Amino acid sequence: MFNQDNDPRRPRPPSDSRGFFMLPQAPMDSGYYVYGNLYQRPAKGAYQYAHPLMMTAILNVGLEWQAMDTRRFGVGDISLPGGIKTPDHGGHKSGLNVDIRPLRKDGREEPVKWSDPEYDQVATYALINLFHIFAQVQRVIFNDPGIPFLVRAERHDDHFHLDLRG
């Protein structure tokens, strides 16, 4: 009998000791792109091991976002393999936390702060709402005072940090 799991034509994405998989590294039709940590740059994709709940949320939001907008949203840090803690980034061990860039009006896949003229508040708010629709969001940290129900924190002007309930 043929076993699909061992089919070399269908390679499995990298997984870690927890059985978490690395987020697919932004196929063009995914609705998202990936970016690295600003403070530490591990190998490509190394900081993107997601709990199955987070993986499902990102992939579902990506598909829905793609149907709504031509721009892709940026997905940053999730978790290192095995939930390894880093000295400069205390969280992001459970695979249930993710950093996401706010949307830019010009569609460029680059950082933007909520106070910059290129920042698209309406689209960013819509993206945050999609995560609330597709996942059990526990908390969103972002410093835009124009979006309700956010927690403010230092160094969260250019990305929002999203925590899911496990």
Whether 5 is in a domain gets the answer no
Q: Tell me whether residue 1 is in a domain.
A: no
150 within some domain: yes
Tally of domains in the chain = 1
Per-residue confidence (pLDDT) for residue 2, from 0 to 100:
45
The answer to the question of residue 6 being in a domain is no
**Helix, strand, or coil here: 19?**
coil
HSE-CB for 59 with a 13 A CA cutoff:
13
Could you tell me the residue range of the domain that residue 137 belongs to? Answer: 11-164
pLDDT in tens, the chain (166 residues): 444 556 667 667 788 999 999 999 867 789 999 987 544 555 566 788 999 999 999 999 999 999 999 999 999 999 988 888 765 656 788 999 999 999 999 999 999 999 999 999 999 999 999 999 999 999 999 999 999 999 999 999 999 999 999 8
Domain annotation covers residue 2: no
Evaluate whether residue 95 is within a structural domain: yes
CATH code where residue 29 lies: 3.30.1380.10
**DSSP 3-state assignment of 159?**
coil
